Amino acid sequence: MSKPLQKKIGKGLKVTNEQIIIAGIFVLVLGVFIGAMVAEGGASKKRMHAIESIFSTHTLEIAGEFRCSCGTCGEKNLAICTCETALIEKRYIENSLKTGKSHQQIVEEINKIYGLHNNG
């Protein structure tokens, strides 16, 4: 049933057929592009929450012993603060844990570099 229909279109509307294919691809690409933009918009809204889930509980446990050293967020708890400085410090803790440093070692290093330990 579809065979004679294809033949008919192919015979008389060859150029239009190609245009339909090009238009189809264009719509597809546009759809993917818009889809990606919408997904990106949603991701940036969720980013604030996603930041915290990046770090392990051990990282947040160590971060919780410090206040943020950025100087602009009012010395928030480092585990809670999501500013750039807090992220850098937490990334440092995370990487240090991965290289096998002990809890105490990391606390001492962070205190030396950034300071603001809760008991210091």
Question: In terms of CB distance, is 69 or 96 closer to Zn ion?
Answer: 69
Per CB under 5 A, which region of 19-27, 48-56, 70-78, 90-98 contacts Zn ion? 70-78
Whole-angstrom distance, CA of residue 18 vs CA of residue 15: 5
Whole-angstrom distance, CA of residue 96 vs CA of residue 56: 12
What single-letter amino acid sits at 87?
A: L
As beta bridge partners, residue 117 has 66
Question: In terms of CB distance, is 81 or 110 closer to Zn ion?
Answer: 81
Q: Are 114 and 69 in contact (CB under 8 A)?
A: yes
Half-sphere exposure of 98 (CA within 13 A, CB side): 8
For the chain, how far is it from start to end, CA to CA, in angstroms? 83
Considering only residues 51, 80, 83, 88, which one is a binding residue for Zn ion as defined by CB under 5 A? 83
Considering only residues 63, 79, 81, 106, which one is a binding residue for Zn ion as defined by CB under 5 A? 81
CB of 106 to Zn ion, least distance (A): 19
Considering only residues 62, 63, 68, 93, which one is a binding residue for Zn ion as defined by CB under 5 A? 68
Binding positions for Zn ion, 28-57, rule CB under 5 A: none
Considering only residues 51, 73, 80, 88, which one is a binding residue for Zn ion as defined by CB under 5 A? 73
